[in-house]
Structure 1
């Protein structure tokens, strides 16, 4: 139920009286905009994540609205993310001590805003977010869908489209292992024992499906596990396998993008997990692409500020704003020998889910 449509169907079935009272449907940020301006609105990127939106044609889907038993009248007006939806209501302006002429931009969904904040706005440009969940986000000038439905095809905050692979547990896997299993908050010390000579040679695998998995398996029954342990397995091996398992999971989505003919050789990277030099190195070599870090760590917030600047006319376009405002601090390139070691390990990793898929529902 990560999308809006299933929630509406649940309400219609389990809370029919509340369902009948639906007057307006909006997402959290859109409710804030509604309170500020009185305008019932959303942007195309967030609308894409409702399952009520015809992404290719950039309009509400009459078919999906009919399935959910709602009319288009309750749906918000659609705006580009960088469009001004209105100005502050008089009472809001007075309460905040601001002018009624303050403009409010439509804004964007979290991953779309993060991609804007990292300057991922040109066709084929890529951003990887290593947060609680993990995403690989690829900007596209055209609408395209992979045959296995491994990737989301959404409208983008720059007026075009994007592909996105989202794994449900990324940095949260490391947090779970550190906090609940090792009972420590000293993540840096735990990673210090994973020296460079250990990379690409770990005999333990970790499947990062703590909450089931979205991309690329779309399987709520998938479960996490450690595989390959022996009497020689160490604390460092397990910690390393968690970091590697998340990287392999993101590689799965990258492979789906490659199957569409996309040639991705570089990517921006953001999120809390990206602060770990070790994890970033593992990821660069598992994916075998260069990873660049933006100057600001506040990807989504910075992206929202960029969209607001465009809405206020400070910049001619989202691309123009990103070109002038987004700066790279460092770039990590993969090591050919290490990338080759991880390529071999990934080919083993990708056999594990198919082998266990039928067992997961029994657990």
Structure 2
């Protein structure tokens, strides 16, 4: 049998066709428009997601029999606000995760209601990307639309609704709405009251691997599939990606060196960082995870190479780098502000420690080291909870650099593992579909049987010791520069 994983991203939907044995037989991508009505706003039309997903799935299954498809599941961009009226029609364009219009609403939640209360109710603090502040914005600026809301959904859950007719969400994606009691995995009555909505406007909650329904006759006909196909709840993109890397057991960690950088740490137990620097979310395996997000990771290196050095020869530039652990130049990678651990949109990038002896290679290395130090910030918060992080599964464009892999191993003091498959959320979604259809008894069993490590990079004790000392210097730089950022 085959399973379809739908990775609903910000610029495109990627669809993965997976066999029982985990083999990916086909991948299809379909793009859709992204709209910026005003500076800092970011919106999409949910109907575009559905149309392109339908077109992509039809292409995906063109070489197999439709009765061979057993299940569909999702990994989706998180936090986006999708609102439907009483006829299940979309009321307005979806307000996306990277939309920044809700600064006043976040200030209200964090400072008037109080960050401690919000954290007690949801395990997190209000950020501009989250869903609850978006609802408050609609309530204030579009009251006619707010009063017509019948259902509040997340992006991937709109697809699940169009496929099944069921208003559903999963625990991992709901965790990022600031409406969800993460510890008890239920909607927060307190947040519902604060935002001014009704509980029946929210979707039914499922674990990520649970079946929410089967394809309706309309959806089956449009997709070219049968009404026997099961639809499984799926997960937010980070949790789905973690399933796709096998980051499931307590203390396992995956690091993405993509445009942004994420640190995902699986945990058997619920816990909250008292400063809310790490997100505390439910995981797609029925347990929990911590998530740290930095806004510039591989994009910081791309900026340095292409915009400053005017080269695309990334590997050649890295060949000019000298001995590791000796660099006196530090780089703060806050080119777009920062989330974890500072939550400071005014933060900016900086080189510190340059001298007349500083070389081009020193500065290139400083960029790679600076991003990796910032990733360590998130790991250290989890370690402060007593979570032991010893292995990291590294994904994203930066993972292609042997040098960067070595830096991650030694700066984070972990063993780095590289994987055979890097399809991320789409692969994780297909795995969740297989679990929901009974091909595997649990998410852990699926990961054990399907995820394959192809390379391992071990840390070097002497280099770890050098980088521990340098990391302590790095930690002093942001507090020292914070007043300057405010002046800028």
TM-score, normalized by length of structure 2?
0.72
How much does 1:263 deviate? 1.8
How much does 1:53 deviate? 0.5
Match of 1:342 among 457, 467, 470: 467
Match of 2:406 among 281, 291, 305: 281
Q: Deviations over 1:307-343 (max 9, x none)?
A: 0100111000101111111111111011112112211
Gaps of 5+ in 1: none
Residue in 1 aligned with 2:317? 190
Q: Deviations over 1:44-103 (max 9, x none)?
A: 000001111000110011111211111112211111111111111212211221111111
Residue in 1 aligned with 2:210? 83
Residue in 2 aligned with 1:153? 280
How much does 1:176 deviate? 2.1
1: CA distance between counterparts of 2:372 and 2:433? 33
Is 2:289 aligned against 1:162?
A: yes
Is 2:194 aligned against 1:67?
A: yes
1: CA distance between counterparts of 2:290 and 2:319? 35
Is the Cα contact below 8 Å between 2:251 and 2:390 reproduced in 1? no
Residue in 1 aligned with 2:235? 108
Report which stretch shifted further, 334-343 or 278-287. 334-343
Kindly report the root-mean-square deviation, in angstroms, between the aligned alpha carbons of the 2 structures.
1.4
How much does 1:14 deviate? 2.3
Residues 238 and 18 from structure 1, CA distance in 2 versus in 1: closer, same or farther, beyond 3 angstroms?
farther
Is 2:468 aligned against 1:333?
A: no
Match of 2:337 among 198, 212, 231: 212
1: CA distance between counterparts of 2:303 and 2:197? 40
How much does 1:190 deviate? 2.2
Is the Cα contact below 8 Å between 2:245 and 2:422 reproduced in 1? no
How much does 1:16 deviate? 2.3
Is 2:254 aligned against 1:123?
A: no
Residue in 1 aligned with 2:388? 263
Residue in 2 aligned with 1:18? 145
How much does 1:115 deviate? 1.1
Residue in 2 aligned with 1:92? 219
Match of 2:302 among 175, 180, 186: 175
Residue in 1 aligned with 2:374? 249
SS for the counterpart of 1:158 is coil
How much does 1:18 deviate? 2.4
SS for the counterpart of 1:50 is coil
2: CA distance between counterparts of 1:283 and 1:123? 20
Residues 204 and 72 from structure 1, CA distance in 2 versus in 1: closer, same or farther, beyond 3 angstroms?
same
How much does 1:171 deviate? 1.4
Residue in 1 aligned with 2:361? 236
Is the Cα contact below 8 Å between 2:252 and 2:390 reproduced in 1? no
SS for the counterpart of 1:351 is helix
Residue in 2 aligned with 1:223? 348
1: CA distance between counterparts of 2:143 and 2:319? 55
SS for the counterpart of 1:239 is helix
SS for the counterpart of 1:357 is helix
Residue in 1 aligned with 2:438? 313
How many residues are matched? 361
Residue in 1 aligned with 2:100? none
Report which stretch shifted further, 45-54 or 20-29. 20-29
How much does 1:302 deviate? 1.4
TM-score, normalized by length of structure 1?
0.96
How much does 1:125 deviate? 1.7
2: CA distance between counterparts of 1:78 and 1:265? 33
Residue in 1 aligned with 2:171? 44
2: CA distance between counterparts of 1:101 and 1:206? 54
